[in-house]
A and B are shown apart, each in its own frame.
Chain A
Amino acid sequence: MFTLEHNFLKVRFPHVHPSANATISFQRTLRIPDDNREYPLPAGMDRFDLRHIEDYTDRIPDSWARRGGVLLPMYQAEAMWINFNSEYPMAIKIAAGKINAVTGTFWQNELSDTQQDYVVIPSQPWIDGFSTAEEQVRQFVASRLGDGQSAEEQVTGESEFGGLQLIVYPLKAELYEIEQAQRAKQTRLRKRDDFDYLDIPAFARRSSPEPMGLGLGGKIHQSLYKDKRGIEAWDDSHYARCFIHLINSQDWKTVTGEPLPRKPIKPEQYQQAGLPWFDYYDEGKLALPGGTILSRLKSFAEFRKKTDKPDKSIQINHITQLGNQTRVSDGEF
């Protein structure tokens, strides 16, 4: 079951194991330049707001209410990464507009091992974008559905769903117990663990909230790891799904009555605040090969007009190597 607590999604499987719970949050971050250079991992600024969708059924389309889930506000061209926190291993599929972020295939509830279409937590602490090559993702960046730039629109030619979709499967309890016993022997506690607008024409505000999708931003050096346990390890009799509806932040006040979310950080603010860049590498894990249909999709830069200014590159002077530390910055900017 998914619950919502202080802008965290909590997923629990109390009937599988008392420890089978995980926390998922969506982090505001710098939109890295889409300049064909590969960047390290940017820091997280704070969590995106999340609200139960059924609290606003009079202000959203019926089709959204039928899908259930939560609302999350994003500005046009704002970037995010997803933070996973769990001691209990789980397999998680992530899709944008029902296009799988690991494989580029259309949504299906079941896990696939012919082409691994999920990540495993806690070994995968974060996902920053669509897998486009081995050790590389293209950043999750919000785009208006209808502009043709989201991964969903590029793959299916339609803008039906938008948003983000998650499905989570817990590790089979008996395997967890075995792993815990082995870990206890080792007596080692393992602790896992805002805007540079694209030049997109101004648009008229609409009376209903504007749905957003996720497209492919700049390149980030990040590995998505191979499942070392194999597909049989996951308890397919228990799963939890969540539809995260992305709405344009400009519509947030109209829908929820709450103030507009703060604007995304600009590259110059990021640099002036001395916010860090990160690299995460674990020698013990194998990276997925990438090179799926996603690597053939266009990034935002390819949709720009020739007269538009290209993204200004960012000079990275220092990269913090991460083990199991947090990537979230509490710094003011």
Chain B
Amino acid sequence: MNGIGPYLRTHRETLKQQDRRYSLRQVAARVGIEPAYLSKIEREEMPPPGEQTLKKLARDLELDADLLLAMAGKISTDLQAIICKRPQLFAQLLRQLKDAPDHALLRVVREITDGDW
């Protein structure tokens, strides 16, 4: 997988082909950062921004926030809080599931029930 900078840039440029609102300047304005800063992030001249900015970028560019955070080497604060509440249990769970295939992981994800209707 490419670094987060090129990933953001490629995705934004793809969107910009259809919609000029995805220019560097306009995306930066909506996210609340300077265009020059966003440009440096995309070119990996600066380290990835903080969690809140990454989440805003994810929302603006319709990307998965957890994926962006992971690419930036971060874990979102809500996940940290979940793990810190029951650290031993979650550490054990994650270690046990680390090599499980995706379809097996999805079995432990809470499914929306489908009943009698």
Within the assembled complex, what's the spacing in Å between the Cα atoms of A52 and B112? 7
**Chain A, Cβ-Cβ closest to B110:** A3
Residue in A53, A65, A68, A191 whose beta carbon sits within 8 Å of that of B18 in the complex: A191
Within the assembled complex, what's the spacing in Å between the Cα atoms of A47 and B28? 23
| A161 interface residue (CB < 8 Å to B) | yes
Contact B117 A14 (CB under 8 A): no
Contact B109 A3 (CB under 8 A): yes
| A155 interface residue (CB < 8 Å to B) | no
What size tier do the contact residues of chain B reach? 20 to 34
| Interface segment out of the listed A216-224, A250-258, A320-328 | A320-328
Within the assembled complex, what's the spacing in Å between the Cα atoms of A200 and B14? 47
What size tier do the contact residues of chain A reach? 20 to 34
CB-contacts of A178-221 with B (<8 A): 189, 191, 193
Residue in B59, B109, B110 whose beta carbon sits within 8 Å of that of A330 in the complex: B59
Contact A161 B117 (CB under 8 A): yes
| A280 interface residue (CB < 8 Å to B) | no
CB-contacts of A82-110 with B (<8 A): 85, 98
Query: Chain B residues in contact with chain A, CB under 8 A?
Result: 14-15, 18-19, 21, 30, 59-60, 62, 102-103, 106, 109-117
Query: Chain A residues in contact with chain B, CB under 8 A?
Result: 1-4, 9, 12, 14-15, 18, 52-54, 65-70, 85, 98, 161, 165, 189, 191, 193, 240-243, 323-326, 330
Question: 22 A–B contact pairs at CB < 8 A?
Answer: A2-B111, A3-B111, A14-B106, A18-B102, A52-B110, A53-B113, A66-B116, A68-B112, A68-B114, A68-B115, A85-B62, A98-B117, A189-B14, A240-B114, A241-B114, A243-B115, A243-B117, A323-B18, A325-B15, A325-B19, A325-B21, A326-B19
